[in-house]
Amino acid sequence: MGNGKLYIDELENRLTLLMINTEESFVMIDKELVIVAFNDEFKKQYLKYLNKEVLKGTSILNYVQPGREEIVRGIYQRVFNGEVMESEIEIPLPDKTVVTYHTKYKPAFNEEGAIIGAFISGKDITELKWANQQRLMFESHRTFDNDNLKALINNTHDAMWSVDVDFRLITGNEAFDNIVRFMGGEPYKNGDNILAGFPEDHLEKFKNFYKRAFSGEVFTIVEYSSEPEEVWSEISFYPISNNGKIVGTACHSRNISDRKVYEREILRVKTELEKNEYKLKESQKIAHLGSWELDMLTGVTTWSDELFDIFGTTPQQTQPSLEAYFSFIHSGDVQKVKDMIDEANASLISIPYSHRIVRPDGTIRTVYCESRFTFNDKHTPLRINGIIHDITDRKLADENIKLIKERYDVVAKATNDAIWDLDLVGNKLFWGDGFNTLFGDGLDAKIVNLELWAGLIHEDERKIVYDSLMKVIKSPDGTRWEEEYRFMKSNGTYANVLDRGFVIRNSKGKAIRVIGAMQDITVLKGHIEQLQKLLDVTNEQNKKLQNFAHIVSHNIRSHSVNINGLVEMIDDTLESEEKMKYYAMLKSSTGKLNETIENLSNIITIQNDINKVRTVLNLKIEVDKTCDAINSVISQTNTTVINQVDPGIDINVIPSYLESILLNIITNAIKYRMKDRPAIIKLYTQKTGNYILLNIEDNGMGIDMEKNGDKLFGMYKTFHSNSDARGFGLFITKNQIEAMNGKIELESEPGKGSIFKIYFNEKN
């Protein structure tokens, strides 16, 4: 845009230069009679004669003498048809003197040879005319001297010749001969057919010119020949009459090639200027860019069309001027603008500024102004060129962007997420403030592309995460990506992160950017895991509770049903012997009911006693104590107990529970020993993770784990056809161990033996 403007300035300078340096006034119009260019002389003369300022872009008819408009219009009509016209008018001046003005109208051709307008040159010939009149008066007193005339006409470079009505040369001067030679012919002798030797196309044309002259018309044509070189001639025909009868024509040809070249250059420049002006105008329109120019010499201000649009006015409503400009400035900004202009005028350097304007319809817009002085070689300012740019929309947009950016910044700071922006075209990764906060200072400067980011993903997940992002980017309509993975912090530890991205695509659907946020969910994840554990425990407890409720109801009901049935039987029976039998059964049933209720209350006690006071005890000593307590059973059954517990192991337990656990498992081992071999019970320990593991191994009957594994520690499950096995002991043992956060497992093979594995939780 700026270059375009400079170029146009340059063209205008050249156009102006071409038109200066001539005494003739010079003006060019287009076919709509609109002035497109003029020289200083023209401007001066109009100012002088009509006291009127000439303006480009206005009609030439504005500058003709009143009443002559129709005549002038007729003249141009003929010029646009290719004719050269001349006029001579007398103009009365304000000081009452009269000047004679000679005007010549010639068609203007473009490079293709089409007429696009007219050149008008004019000259004040008042003095010349006066001199001519004097000469004519003087000559009328003289006899015509043929030799003198000959000398006179030979002395000029203009070709002069005369032809009689039979197209025979009457006479021609030397310049005429020269032209004929130049065209490649032999000079005509007097009496030769002037049309002889003319090329076909010229012949008919010139024959017609002569005929017009023979009919009495005085006219001038412009003739162009390209061979042997480019020559423009202006040929005038003057009929010669003798006693009122036309006997021939005098012809005068003048080489105007130099002027023609000059005119053509003007045209070329002018056409180019027009083209560029059009372009400028269009671009100004698009950019809401208006321009203005102040000619410091004439004081004339011009505005571009777009500038009128910016001000909400039209060239008809507003005459461009500084005052007009000020009339649009918002009252609040007038002083500021005044200061800026004063400053610029004083320093001859202008600084861009912006201000508000008020359009005639009341709307307020914001404009940006920039101007430039053009100087001559003496550093005198010639003109000021300026642009005025309507930036209201841009300003609004700028403010919006600023607002959005502010919001974004606040969000980016407020969030705990690491916001990222991946430029897929340049493979550049940018991070928001949160990244360093979450993962380590200075990390954002190191992780600047996709590969570096992938390098910090835990290697177990790296490929999956990277591939999933690529899949979203490459799929034609993928927009959202989400992945959970472990990401290495700058301190080497891993953070669990939840990373989400949004893919931005260009108009062709190619992914160009991905914007996302990375969230550290390590803590959250910990909470979730804890929650899951709690949930598992709760579920487990719930299941136990339900199981418990069913078993309780089953066990209690089975006894109560019996008792009910027995009581009914006693009522129905008369035989006392039979009655006695029922009473015995009733006693047994109530005893069992009592036992059941007691057992159940034991379990409830264990469940409730989770917070019972713990004591640190030496495991080996506790095992010995238990064995001592059941010493008589051990010796009666010929059982061997081997206590290989590490004497250095102390465990933090609820003492009564430990005692109960050891007692229950050891007595079980004795109870379910194989009858064919002496029982051997071996106790030994090992450490595994957070647990102390106590193994109690026997060589007893064992349990079929496939068949009974799932109901091993259930309530009231027994696995042996032993009559007093009620399957209650293991259930209590399990509950007691679990109450101390431990666990119990069993390895067993029927006929070979069992290993009860008791895990004491040392962490709690």
Partner 1 sequence: MKKIDLAYIIDDDEIIIYLTDKILKKVEFCNRVEKFTDAQKALERLMFSLKTGENIPEVILFDLNMPNMDGWAFMDEFIKLPLKKKIPAFIFTSSIDPADMQKSYTYKEIKGFITKPLTNNKLDKILRLIDEEEERDKAMGES
Binding site for partner 1 (CB under 8 A): 550, 553-555, 557-558, 561-562, 564-566, 569, 585, 588-589, 707, 716-722, 725-727
Q: Give 281's contacts (C-beta < 8 A, 6+ positions apart).
A: 304, 305, 306
End-to-end Cα spacing for the chain: 81
Q: How far is the CB of 669 from partner 1 (least distance, A)?
A: 19
Residue 358, token pair as written in the block = 């008020």
Identify each DSSP E strand in 346-457 by its residue range: 353-358, 364-375, 381-390, 418-423, 428-431
For residues 373 and 385, what is the distance between their CA atoms, to the nearest angstrom? 6
String of DSSP letters for 472-501 = HHHSTT--EEEEEEEEE-TTS-EEEEEEEE
Q: How far is the CB of 573 from partner 1 (least distance, A)?
A: 9
Q: Give 403's contacts (C-beta < 8 A, 6+ positions apart).
A: none
Return the residue matching tokens 């008018």: 89
Cis peptide before 228 (omega within 30 of 0): yes
Its sign, for the CA torsion 147, 149, 155, 159, is negative
For residues 453 and 459, what is the distance between their CA atoms, to the nearest angstrom? 12
Q: How far is the CB of 652 from partner 1 (least distance, A)?
A: 36
Q: How far is the CB of 718 from partner 1 (least distance, A)?
A: 4
Name which of 211 and 557 has its Cβ closer to partner 1.
Answer: 557
Q: How far is the CB of 608 from partner 1 (least distance, A)?
A: 24
Q: How far is the CB of 750 from partner 1 (least distance, A)?
A: 13
Q: How far is the CB of 642 from partner 1 (least distance, A)?
A: 30
Name which of 589 and 735 has its Cβ closer to partner 1.
Answer: 589
Q: How far is the CB of 715 from partner 1 (least distance, A)?
A: 10
Name which of 373 and 719 has its Cβ closer to partner 1.
Answer: 719
Name which of 102 and 592 has its Cβ closer to partner 1.
Answer: 592
For residues 42 and 25, what is the distance between their CA atoms, to the nearest angstrom? 4
Return the residue matching tokens 């001349």: 86
Q: Are 212 and 223 in contact (CB under 8 A)?
A: no
Alpha-carbon separation of residue 350 from 8, 240, 294, 354 (angstroms) = 21, 67, 14, 13
Residue 73, token pair as written in the block = 């219009």
Name which of 143 and 723 has its Cβ closer to partner 1.
Answer: 723
Name which of 491 and 721 has its Cβ closer to partner 1.
Answer: 721
Q: How far is the CB of 725 from partner 1 (least distance, A)?
A: 6
Q: How far is the CB of 744 from partner 1 (least distance, A)?
A: 21
Sequence letter at residue 194: I
How many C-beta atoms lie closer than 10 Å to residue 533's C-beta? 10
Q: How far is the CB of 613 from partner 1 (least distance, A)?
A: 36
3-state class of 220 per DSSP?
strand
Return the residue matching tokens 């950017």: 513
Buried b (16+ CB within 10 A) or exposed e, 55-77: eeeeebeebbeeeeeeebeebbe
Name which of 420 and 719 has its Cβ closer to partner 1.
Answer: 719
Name which of 212 and 717 has its Cβ closer to partner 1.
Answer: 717
Q: Give 10's contacts (C-beta < 8 A, 6+ positions apart).
A: none
Give the chain's length. Answer: 764
For residues 147 and 153, what is the distance between their CA atoms, to the nearest angstrom? 10
Name which of 551 and 746 has its Cβ closer to partner 1.
Answer: 551
Q: How far is the CB of 504 from partner 1 (least distance, A)?
A: 55
Q: Give 231's contacts (C-beta < 8 A, 6+ positions apart).
A: 182, 224, 225, 255, 257
Which DSSP category does 711 fall into? G
Q: Are 566 and 585 in contact (CB under 8 A)?
A: yes
Name which of 150 and 707 has its Cβ closer to partner 1.
Answer: 707
Q: How far is the CB of 550 from partner 1 (least distance, A)?
A: 4
